Copies of this chain bind each other. A is one copy, B any other.
Amino acid sequence: MSGGDGFSQAERDALYRAIFTRRDVRGQFRPDPVPEDLLRRLLLAAHHAPSVGFMQPWNFVLITDPAVKDRIHADFLKANDEAAALFTGERQALYSRLKLEGIKDAPVNLLITCDRGRGGPVVLGRTHNPAMDLYSCACAVQNLWLAARAEGVGVGWVSILHEQALRDALGLPEEIVPVAYLCIGYVTHFLDQPELEKAGWRNRLPLEELVFRDQWGRKAGQD
């Protein structure tokens, strides 16, 4: 009954291993090219994410042109200065020491977008929660990320960018929302902990504190 529809224990373990050892990679990229067939497997994994109303609202813009990367990297530097200015004291010093992107180091960059008009104005399942198509795209990111981990390929999500700069650099039409700018490449190694945890930025929260039963704030066994 709980045998996992044919998934063996070893197969389940493989999936959990990908989940637990996946990292947001910034500093360990190697320049080796990522083979096209491997890239295609990653995109196919993303394309098999759940999507509201089977809308499949995503597109995939692969970026390997150094001129395009340079332009986006220049915007990162600007955005990162703005972000650093929001912290003070020791926190700001720590922030400034963190490496937060691998745009130029990673051989491939990838923008996953959301086409909010795909499938027409009424999308099954999106009427009462208009963010559902964006969430579908985030699920596509996670599929790709886990597949990459199992392929020995690192992925880093760079969110310190101005949306308009991305639009300009990549020529995005107005109805297209950039969801995730990803850096992709082989790595020297995967860190054994999330980089921000390792750096002392924030700790992993205990799962038990995050779980409630039947009502917000009610713990298991409480009444």
Q: Which residues of A contact B (CB under 8 A)?
A: 1-5, 7, 10-12, 14-20, 22, 24, 32, 35, 38, 40-41, 43-45, 47-50, 52-56, 58-65, 68, 79, 82-83, 86-87, 95, 98, 100, 119, 122, 124-129, 131-132, 134-136, 138-139, 141-143, 145-147, 149-152, 157, 159-163, 170-173, 176, 179-180, 186, 189-190, 194, 196-197, 201-202, 204-205, 207, 210-217, 220
- Chain A interface main SS type: mixed
| A128 partner, pick from B65, B68, B131, B161, beta carbons under 8 A | B161
A12 to B41, CA, bound (A): 11
Known: A17-B11, A38-B2, A216-B171. A54 touches B201 (CB 8 A): yes
B95–A159 CB distance below 8 A: no
A60–B151 CB distance below 8 A: no
| A4 partner, pick from B40, B52, B150, beta carbons under 8 A | B150
Q: Within 8 Å CB of A11, what residues of B?
A: 10-11, 14, 17, 150
A160 to B217, CA, bound (A): 24
| A159 partner, pick from B125, B139, B197, B210, beta carbons under 8 A | B125
Whose C-beta in chain B lies nearest to the C-beta of A9? B150
A62 to B211, CA, bound (A): 7
A211–B43 CB distance below 8 A: yes
B1–A186 CB distance below 8 A: yes
B119–A202 CB distance below 8 A: yes
A216 to B63, CA, bound (A): 10
Q: Which of A5, A32, A126, A207 has the most CB of B within 10 A?
A: A5
Q: Within 8 Å CB of A18, what residues of B?
A: 7, 15
Whose C-beta in chain B lies nearest to the C-beta of A68? B214
A170–B216 CB distance below 8 A: yes
B47–A83 CB distance below 8 A: no
Q: Could you give 20 example pairs across A and B, Cβ below 8 Å?
A: A10-B14, A11-B17, A15-B150, A19-B146, A19-B147, A22-B48, A22-B50, A47-B205, A52-B159, A61-B214, A62-B214, A63-B213, A79-B127, A124-B196, A128-B159, A128-B160, A135-B180, A139-B142, A139-B145, A170-B214
A223 to B60, CA, bound (A): 17
